[in-house]
Structure formats: C-alpha cells, structure tokens
Structure 1
C-alpha cells in the first residue's frame, strides 16, 4: 500500500498499519515484543523492581523494528505516527489474540 499523505484518525490509520505488517514473521516479532513487555511490566510491579520499566521501550520497539528493517524491509510507522503506531501495535495484538486479524486483513484486501 502506498504511504498515504496524512492520516487524521486511528480508523484511517489502522488499514495502513496492517499493510505495513503483511509478513507473518514481522507480526510474530511484534507479538513477541508485546508479550515480553507485558511480562517484564508484571515482573517489575510484582517484584517492586521498577527499574525494569526502563527496558520496556527497548523490548517492544526492538522486536518490532527488527521485523520492519530485516523482514518487511520498510520504515516503521512509529517515525511518522508515533501515537497511532503504538496504539496500532496493541490493537493488532488484540486482533491476533481474539482471532479477528485475518478478518480485518481481508476487509482491507490485505490477505
């Protein structure tokens, strides 16, 4: 999908976001990063070792950016749409966990 000029809502952004995550390995790296973020955050909270919160951006973005630079070979949407991209990652993770991702990919002709 060609990069759109300007996306002014998350509803308009999400199909573009999905189009930048077509390779299953790239999406898998995003899911792994999100899972590790949740686990490390839970560990930090339950162990009262809040210094681990500093790791969360490196874990989440590290996995995702490996997927973009080496698998999809595209530029992460984070650089242009940081908030929408952050939200898109969690919505895509939710869609994957609830079995809705394939439906949404088909809805936007991305399958």
Structure 2
C-alpha cells in the first residue's frame, strides 16, 4: 500500500482511480443522494434516512468501481482520504473545476490515464 503523507499527494491518485466519466457520474449520484438523505433527516427530524447513507454513499461508488472502472475502491485502502476526496471531487465537478484537476493528474478525456503519470 502506498503512503500519501498529505491530501495533496493523494488527490491525483484518487482521480486516476476514477478515470472513467461513468465512474465519476455514479460517485456524483451517490454523493448527491447521501447529501439529500442528511438534509432530509435534519429538516424533517427523521432518523431513518441516516440508515440509508452507506447504501447511497458506497453503493453507487462500489458499483462504479466493480462494473465500470474495474478496480478496487480506494476506500478499502484509504478510507478517510477517500471520503474526503469524494466530497472534493463532487464539489470540483459542481464548480466546473474537475476537468482541470483530471488533466493535472494525467487523466485523459477518454477515461484513460497517461502511463507516464500513473501513480
């Protein structure tokens, strides 16, 4: 297992592990659903939506890795970095900055990673 001393070091690796657009799309869907569940629980004063958080957050992501990206989810090896990176990736997507981040990480628009930049 690789050691990443900082989030900045981990971020390009995380993006390379999420190179395919469909993988990121499923992550965005799961993250958005997780946020919706938290907001529903808070505003409706219901606890049951919180029980669905693992299914929403990890279900979409793991399906993306096993069925689309065909790699092992980074959360299995780096759970805290991965959780933070998922939210950063979602936010960077929403603000229109994810394409630049992907390019800096060596992820090509077609969902492949530049072999010379693979971490």
Deviation, structure 1 residue 43: 1.0
1:41 — aligned with what? 38
Q: Which 4+ runs in 1 deviate beyond 3 A? A: none
Name which of 44, 47, 51 aligns with 1:50.
47
Gaps (5+ residues) in structure 1? none
| Residue segments in structure 2 that go unaligned for 5+ positions in a row | 109-119
- RCO comparison, higher one (Cα < 8 Å, 6+): 2
The number of aligned residues is 108
Deviation at 1:17, TM superposition (A): 0.2
Counterpart check, 1:66 vs 2:63: yes
Q: CA RMSD in A?
A: 1.1
Residue deviations 1:5-57, cap 9 Å, x none? 21121110000000000111110000000110111111111111112212112
Structure with greater helix percent? 1
**Distance in 1 of aligned mates of 2:70 and 2:90:** 21
C-alpha distance in 2 between matches for 1:108 and 1:44: 36
The within-5 A match list for 1:78-97 is 78-97=75-94
In 2: Cα distance, 1:41 partner to 1:5 partner: 33
